[in-house]
Structure 1
Amino acid sequence: MFHKLYRRLIEPFKRSIRNKLILTMTFVAVLPVIVMTAVAAENARSSMEAEIMDTNRVNINWASAYLAEQFARMNNIIYSIQISDELHQYLALTQEAPASSRFDEQKAVFNMLNSVYYSAGNYVFGVELYLKEQETLFTFNSMESRIKAVNDIPEGYHELFTQRKDFTITNDPKDPSKFHMTRSMNRFEDQAQVGAISLEIKWAEFNQTLELLDSRGDYTVYIGDRSGRPVYQLNASIQPSNEALMQLKDTKDHTGLIRTANEYVFYHDIEDTGLKVIKIVPNHVINESAMETMKYGLVVGGVATVVSVALAALVAWRTSKPIVKLANSMKGIQLIKDRKVERSGRVDEIGLLEKNLHGMASRIREHIRDNYMMNLEKQTAELKALQSQIHPHFLQNTLQMIGGMVYSQKPADSYKVIRALSEMFRYIVRAPDGLVPLQSELDQLEHYMLIQKQRFASRLEYKLEIVGEIGNGYIPKLSLQPIVENAFLHGLENKPGEWRLGIEVAADPEKGLLTIQICDNGMGMEPEKLVEMQSKLERITRHTDRIWSSGTSIGLLNAASRIVMHFGPDYGMRIESKLGQGTKVIVCIPCTTGGESF
């Protein structure tokens, strides 16, 4: 009997979506108090949060730019001292110069410092000029002006010279309201540090800018060091949390937002100073506005409940009417079925739609598969187009270099470079697009490296070593040049000192394997970036139908993908790297004959 009663109750709703919709909307109508209050509060909080975030991002970007201009203005004072004729004439004096000449030049330097000091503005307390080779320290401020012979590096200059920095900003240990802005003087010929210029400056110079960011007492604005710790702060009542400091220390972004449990931390680097401008906004600033909204949400929600219940039936009726009409009109539609589809077994209007539309879904799947194959063919065509290009920056640099060689070197030297560039173009245009002899690919690298050797002269050391017989080895066209280009772009260009690039080709006929190792002594890769790159190479091995292409040049992943596509997952590319020591890329291909694998 209970079963019959249950069936009688649910039967009207089982066969009619209209009845289901009326019941559902009526039931949901009793929940608007909770829903509307929560939504209104969250919307208010989100709106306030978005407004505060947008406003503070704009303001802190503006403040950072203005502070950078102020620091640049101070830098200009230092530069005016560095380029002064008085300083250059004093530095030009030899040990044999008479004492009268030294006295005259020292007096001229003092006059120059005096002029700079009084023209700098009220925020500059003093100027110091330290000359390391002359063991001399000039000091000029409102209290004194003197020259002092020093045997060791004076206090305040140790960080600059011991760590070979070009620029430092340090707080005055005796007066926290001041800081010292010190810049190194380097000899042009060998960049050796020959001295330094230091300005003693008031932090109060930046108060007006920081006060504009601190629009209410709950906020805190300060200037921090590279790790985010406060260097100068107007209001010390609110300090950044340890979580925020840890994230500020680890971040590599120039600007951004850090959210912690209790605060929003906005930061932006001050250009060319190693400092950040940081603003802290507590969470309660945003949450207070949400609480106000919740008080009115209960009233609005109560009224909404009454209105919603009254309108539920009307809305449900009018909403379901077109659905019922559509279901009735689709009874005569028969779509072609390409395979049997499991249905849910519903007998209402939705069930009718399901019965007639599953064939349409099958057709859509066919179109998706066709579209996927078209995209795959398109990517393959793009790959062939990529193979016909040379990196535009490399071509521009080469042409500029040839232009300079025409006027400065022998015609034969210029001809060698032009011939190498011509051979590279001939190889790209005329060589087949598939597999090419490994020796042809190595010859292409020789032309590329001849141009690079001409560009970087004695700074670049290049070595090619071939072990064994590689005459029958084949490789996808332009697989090695992208790896060598990556070595220059990401490894060597940012590394000071000597560059070394080596290529070693080893044949192992017993294993039927050719191994090509490309090593450089460049900057290396960070561990996270190395793991990411290794993971992508592993995915290429697992998914041989994936074509990796990016931008307008052939990338390392693209080259690895083509090797796997030609020879299978047993071959491909590996990468090893250590930060600061260099990178090694290992390419494995089979020993082949006439382009066919053994």
Structure 2
Amino acid sequence: MKGIYYNSSIRKKILLVILVFSLLLVGSTTMITVLISRSTLKDQLIYNRKMSIGWLQDRLGLETKDYINQFYNFEVNKGIKNVIMDWCKTGKSLDYTSKLQLITAMNTVISMDSNINSIEIFNLKTNQVLVAKRSGADMQAAGDKLKFWKDREKSLQTNIVFKREGKEIMIAHQVYDFYENVPVALITIKIRPYEIQDILENIKTTEDESVMLFNDEQELIEADYSKSDSKIQTADLAKVIEKFAKGKEQEFYYKDNFWFYRSVNRGKLIILFAVPSFVITNAMRQMLIAGSIISGIAVIISIGGSVLFSGIFSKPIIALAEKMKTAMINNYSEEIPSDRKDEIGILQNSFNLMMERNQRLIKQEYQSKIEKREAQVRALQAQINPHFMHNTLQTIGGIALEKNVTKIYDMTTSLSDIMRYSLSFTREMVCIREEIRYLQEYLNIQNERFDNRIEFEVQVKKELMEYVVPKLILQPILENSLGHGLINKTGTWKIQLKAMLTEEDDLLLEISDNGIGLSQERLAQIREILRGDAGNALKTSSHIGLGNVHSRIRLKYPDTKYGVTIESQTGEGTTVRILTKAVKENRKYDIGESSDY
């Protein structure tokens, strides 16, 4: 199989690779998308049902409070309450005035709510009931009408009770004598169920769902059952309610249904919402079908695209390979071997040959640039020596005439160290410690010239002494300070050297003096020179100092951020900053070399 693959044409290989990767990508992406979408859609459908039953809970809560307020109207109104208490506690018959007052209050409630069919006030002592309907009002014997109340468990609440009576929903409220804490009357309101039926129907998303309303005795008050599944009507609803009552969950899956449970007004009503599992599945089916269609289209596009692009990609490679093969046969007798037998193998042979030639040319070019750079550096270094040695020899001659032999010896020693350091080309990079030692020898000589007016301050941490810089980059800066900034200044000449690491871990050297500074025109001229290329110092002999240092750093590190910058204020002094790479010295110093300054 491996041999067949390697010996196949480049077009077949590209086709196979693109096809495999595209099909894997499309298949995995489609599968993951379908799984995530299915889970998300399922969660969304369940969440929608939670919102629906939550809305129903709030709506029925408001309805319950409205009827509680209706009952409290009979107890808050002192005249009505006194009539009820006088009639129900004494056992006397209602006189005409009291009866009329009660009937008027009952008819007022009925007229204000179109859902109310009748209101009844039961006298628990005499077993009488005053009934007010839309057609009229009369006093009747209670008979068996109170049986539902007498059979009700004493532990259940009596504030507001719902009961189903045929086509009506009865709502009952017991009136107490709070002084003796005994019940004296029972008020019932019978309502049409149509409004509640509309409310239950409105929360259903499909006809396959069922919503049921129970009272606190788990008796069915109203329901809107599924139109397609009769099993929900015969399900063991008591077990479902009991499961909800015992647990803290308000939703769970049981017997092929998602069940949702809510309690209204502290258990006075119980809502049970059943959503068959196939409702959720059917809702997701369209999404799954759409996903399958999109996946199939993506596979077809992947196959077609693989065939198309494999031809597009391989055609120029094949043509190039044929040309390269011809050129090799015509121009070269020795063939570079290759393990591949297809067009890529041909490209490899030609590429190897071209790489060999390119490497040879690059090596030659690179060596030429190195030699040119070294020649530039040596020329830059050589420019410093004649001028400095001339001034030094003049100073030594003056000392020989005016001072003793010891001074001549010291000066000669310093000059010898300086010459040995500056004329040695064995190392291009030196540590800051050596540069500072050289500067001190240089300033020893210069102080003899200028009557010890020079104060040189070094602020370089011990660990920074080990970092390396191009050789002889600090002395030209100091020479410029003496020759241009300090020579015409009276008093003490102060030169300060600082070294620090920047936030980007580059090495920054800062040399400042308290000289007379530069004019803005002169400062602009120097900056213009520094903005030139790395060969300016060689071409412009009148600006050896800064141009020399700047060019050497730019030759060493071509990045434009490295080099020399200058700031100066007339009468306040000049500051030169040298930014270079932070590179630590690896060599060990000879015995006797000090690391402290």
Give the shorter-chain TM-score range: 0.3 to 0.5
Q: Could you tell me the TM-score, scaled by structure 1's length?
A: 0.41
Asked which structure has the greater CA Rg, the reply is 2
